[in-house]
Structure 1
């Protein structure tokens, strides 16, 4: 898990160059199509990447984006005819999960434009898609997806930047390798002793960092056997905050754009309850944190969010080892999840 995550900067650097012509063509096609909405289709870590696509698309002025539940197409076979000429971004590292394939086929039957974001371009999902966006992560042995997740986020950022003509993001993607190398070096593993004995925690984010928080919570569960749930920094005040008090822990992946509004106030609430706060983000927002995680400075908030998950992976790996678990082979999990 750790060594594969460390490959991410070079893999993403190569991806940007390899996909340049494809992304320009697909971005142009999507602008010409000008759909009323778009949809995503994914599960697991890939669904967190799909959530990132939703936030990035909508905050760049793109169309409203919905999450299309796989079961609608795979079990019920009731995908709406309104999907005709609608982009459906299907995210899957393997491209071999039966439910995603079946759901994509049902959407294609209704005339949806299927865009597969996959690591395996020879997969059945890639074969049925109108457009295939390779993430170029290379072979991944660890059950826990790391480099493939980072590469998927970068591919999504590249696609949406071309679609919405976000020129700052397009420019910054040309130096993605340097940014991710800094994120790799700024790893968060030093916070592991504070979490190794914890049995449950909340992971908080907002906007572009909410899907990152979701991925972090998933990795805590699957790699380290640590129960963690992700919530929006805003949404946590609507009920879940009552579960957090003295001696409890929250991990905050702070956004650096407009979504940071209210973060310092929320941390003040936790601080008054004597909750342990471990946080990344802008210094003024996380001044009350008990442990401040290094935050890589990025000119575009989307790339700052991506950098944070690469900094996080060594933390999950270290906690897994401290809890005497094998992060590469979590119990009861397989690399390709076959659900119907």
Structure 2
């Protein structure tokens, strides 16, 4: 009897394949409200930015931190949801920009923190897929993802759309013409990234039990996202580290045969990540590098800030294949639900 997973396209595959169209639609529909928010932020610059999210959305917040700090110089930090929802500790957020990122916009802890942020004087921005969600209702500004229904438990198109929403906002806020031009080219670059051949990664990890996923700077968030996807879709224990932070202890585990996936961001962090990959190869580790100079081909990025979106798009196709090869249904990870409502 044939394996049903080998004869049908999974929801994860179908939804990840939609990412380019989602981003193209999002940029067109959100243009005016993004420009209005950017004008407000230039007129009254926030002293800092706070993000609040969980799961894949929190990995998008990691990208937001690096993009905002490197392009705008505004300190950006993650606000722990439990500070407001469990400890009920008021935060001093006068004048700050508070960005809550959520696919569903329903999780009670995010709602409580968004409410507390407004009470504390912040301007609350909701980056959310469900436009009539409770989070959208209480936000000062809503940036919809326009991703459409996402039925697979493993988020794909909504994650890429979250990164794209951050990118569009920073492009408008900074007024950087290079970033603006990159927005126009990004959807087609995503289509190219979806066709990239990362089959070597799936081939090498069929029988793996654990691995490290490394990134740095703008690429750290996708390393976190990839590690999560290895766990939830493939039952594979993966830990994400900064390519700098891994040197502070974790690298002691890397020896002969140990799998390591490196996302080499095409900027000033790339050389260090590539050097680390070579060091691990010298120890006999099984290393894959996503880079223009690596063994996992990357679609050409119209701007270095776009590279993480292209890399994770190529990764999603490979991880969906790996899950099926390991005999798992990536749409239905054990013990997980599509919407997780934490307090």
Structure 1 length-normalised TM: 0.96
Report the counterpart of residue 326 of structure 2 in structure 1: 323
> 2: CA distance between counterparts of 1:242 and 1:218?
22
C-alpha separation in 2, matches of 1:187 and 1:125: 38
How does 1:127-146 map onto structure 2 within 5 Å?
A: 127-146=137-156
The alpha-carbon distance between structure 1 residues 121 and 187, as it changes in their structure 2 partners (threshold 3 A), is: farther
2:237 to 214, 227, 230: 227
What's the counterpart of residue 289 of structure 1? none
For residues 184-212 of structure 1, the C-alpha deviation after alignment (integer angstroms, 9 at most, x for no partner) is: 11142342110010000000111111101
The aligned counterpart of 1:200 is 210
Structure 2 counterpart SS, 1:174: helix
What runs of 5+ residues in structure 1 fail to find an aligned partner? 287-291
Partner of 1:173: 183
Structure 1 CA distance for aligned equivalents of residues 29 and 185 of structure 2: 14
* C-alpha distance in 2 between matches for 1:187 and 1:170: 29
- Correspondence list, 1:248-327, <5 A: 248-283=258-293, 286=294, 292-327=295-330
Q: SS state of the match for residue 90, structure 1? A: strand
Superposed counterparts of 1:53-64, under 5 Å: 53-64=64-75
Moved over 4 A (4+): none
Local SS of the residue matching 2:265: coil
Mapped partners of 2:151, 2:331: distance in 1: 8
1:76 has 2:76 as partner: no
2:7 is matched with none
Structure-2 separation of matches of 1:19 and 1:93 = 16
Contact 2:68 2:74 in 1 (8 A): yes
- Residue number among 110, 129, 134 corresponding to 1:119 in the alignment: 129
TM-score (norm 2): 0.95
Match of 1:210 in 2: 220
Distance in 2 (CA, whole Å) between partners of 1:197 and 1:236 is 24
Cα deviation, 1:100-150, whole Å, max 9, x if unaligned, reads 111111111112111000000100000000000001100111011000111
Q: Is residue 2:30 matched to residue 1:24? A: no
1:149 and 2:152 are equivalent in the alignment: no
Of 175-184 and 122-131, deviating more is 175-184
Query: In structure 2, how many angstroms separate the alpha carbons of the residues matched to 1:273 and 1:216?
Result: 23
Q: Is the 1:198–1:226 Cα contact (8 Å) retained in structure 2?
A: yes
Number of residues of Structure 1 aligned to a counterpart in Structure 2? 332
Deviations 1:59-97 (A, max 9, x none): 10231001000011111121322x012110000000001
Is this contact kept in 2: 1:187–1:312, CA < 8 A?
A: no
Q: Distance in 1 between matches of 2:61 and 2:201?
A: 28
Q: Please report how far the alpha carbon of residue 27 of structure 1 lies from its aligned counterpart in structure 2 after TM superposition.
A: 0.6
- Match in the other structure for 2:5: none
CA distance in 2, matches of 1:220, 1:85: 39
Displacement after TM superposition at 1:40 (Å): 0.2
Aligned to 1:10: 21
- Equivalents in 2 of 1:320, 1:307: separation in Å? 20
Pairing 1:337–2:334 present: no
Q: How big is the alpha-carbon RMSD for the aligned residues of Structure 1 and Structure 2?
A: 1.0
Inter-partner Cα distance in structure 1 for 2:280 and 2:331: 34
Alpha-carbon separation, structure 2, partners of 1:213 and 1:191: 15
- Distance in 2, Cα, partners of 1:130 & 1:218: 31
CA contact 1:56–1:160 (8 Å) conserved in 2: yes
Structure 2 unaligned regions, length at least 5: 1-11
User: Quick check: 1:240 aligned with 2:265?
Assistant: no
How far 1:298 moved relative to its partner? 1.0
